[in-house]
Amino acid sequence: MLTARKKNLTAVVIISNGPGELATWVKPLISHLKENITSYSNEKNTNFKFVLNLVPCPNATGNEFKVAKNWGLFDLITDPKDFWKLLIRPSSFTQWPKNGVVVFLGGDQLWSILLAKRLGYFNITYAEWTSRWPRWNDQIAAMNKQVKDKIPKKFRKKCTIVGDLMADIKNLKPSLEDIKKNTWIAILPGSKKAKLSIGIPYFLEVADLITENNQNINLMIPKAPTVELKDFLYYQSDKNPIAKYYSSKIKSIVKIDHSTFDYILETKKNSKLYILSRDYNLPLLSECKLAITTVGANTAELAAINLPMIVVLPTQHLNVMNSWDGIFGILGKIPFMNAIQSFLIEKWYLRKKKFFAWPNIKTKKLIVPERIGKYMPQQIAQEALYLINNANLLSEQKRNLLESRGRDGAIKKLSQLIINSINKN
């Protein structure tokens, strides 16, 4: 039995999971929708209740609930551990309006279908790569024509091509002139704790090596919302077993007032890395000349702003298996499986998987360099310095990234689909 309803109130329910989806899909969409709700021909003069339901995800950091709450965009946020309870007894969380729409923006597409059926709401799935349950979707918002073509013909009438949500990132806020005036390299060590255990000591050493060779290069770290300053200190310390393989350590992290940046991290070798932790940091990041990044969703974000990159996965630390996605991450938490999995991944998985970076996967060709293997920080620093001094190579990569990106305007089109579904009820 469905819960009590309130007249003239409609719920917009977002299903999502990890830090990348929250930052690049959920927040921009809801921010735009709330700011422009009256411009989308809301014929019934409806009041809206915005809800975020976080779903279980092996790649989540555990900070997603806190981060989303701090945005102040939602009337209700539910924790991933409560999702099954939400499906069984939705009335225990809130009074649900009679009408609503459930929008899938991350996780397993099945969760949004189940919740929409349970609440009696319209369902919209944003399909970046594929629509997995077209029979049970009310509406499919596809990133491109390729996604739509994969859908069986009898269900394609449910599908509308809206474009690439990440392609709208560049339009969020203007860039700052003080970033443009200098040469900047962005360093992205990851957002998940297991990746940070490798990324922080490894990339600190890369930073020291770059600074040692060229002190005119500025370095920034666009801190993910789910990463805390204490994580930087923890993973470069003796508490992290991987840190012993690298000599670079943090001397201090100091807050900066009246600056584009929030903090300055200084290493014991006197390298300075400026930490940017404000919302919408991607437009500022786009003014960098180059990014050095781990694998993952951040490669899609960098591609969306046409930022040349070097994608790094140092396989000398394969024993840290819980930094991997999916089944490898789950099994990797079993100690005796580490040696077996390290061997299998290095000899089979890494050789079988052709590409790791999102723009390469999407285009099925190598348009950004991937350094997957036993690469040392010295090699990555040297390559970064080489690229910085070769503008033609950076320009070529930017052109290729621009061509690989989906159409923009997806936020507006998806917002319109949401309002259209509400006006039908």
| Domain range annotation of the chain | 9-164+407-424, 177-404
Is the Cβ–Cβ distance between 218 and 179 less than 8 Å?
A: no
Domain 177-404 fold: Rossmann fold (3.40.50)
The contacts of residue 47 (CB under 8 Å, 6+ apart) are 8, 9, 10
Is the Cβ–Cβ distance between 153 and 167 less than 8 Å?
A: no
405 pLDDT more than 50: yes
CATH number of 9-164+407-424: 3.40.50.2000
The reply to whether 9-164+407-424 and 177-404 are identical in fold is yes
Among residues 262, 192, 266, the alpha carbon closest in space to that of 231 is found at 192
Among residues 251, 240, 208, the alpha carbon closest in space to that of 376 is found at 208
Between strands 217-222 and 250-255, the pairing is: unpaired
Q: Which amino acid is located at 264 in the chain?
A: I
101 pLDDT more than 70: yes
pLDDT value for 5: 45
| Mean pLDDT computed over every residue of the chain | 85
Q: How far is residue 229's CA from residue 43's CA, in Å, rounded to a whole number?
A: 46
Q: How far is residue 156's CA from residue 158's CA, in Å, rounded to a whole number?
A: 5
Among residues 91, 99, 110, 72, the alpha carbon closest in space to that of 13 is found at 99
The encoded tokens of residue 275 equal 């930490």
Q: Which amino acid is located at 393 in the chain?
A: L
Confidence label for 195 from pLDDT (cuts 50, 70 and 90): confident
**Total residue length of the chain:** 425
Q: How far is residue 269's CA from residue 247's CA, in Å, rounded to a whole number?
A: 9
Q: Which amino acid is located at 68 in the chain?
A: A
272 pLDDT more than 70: yes
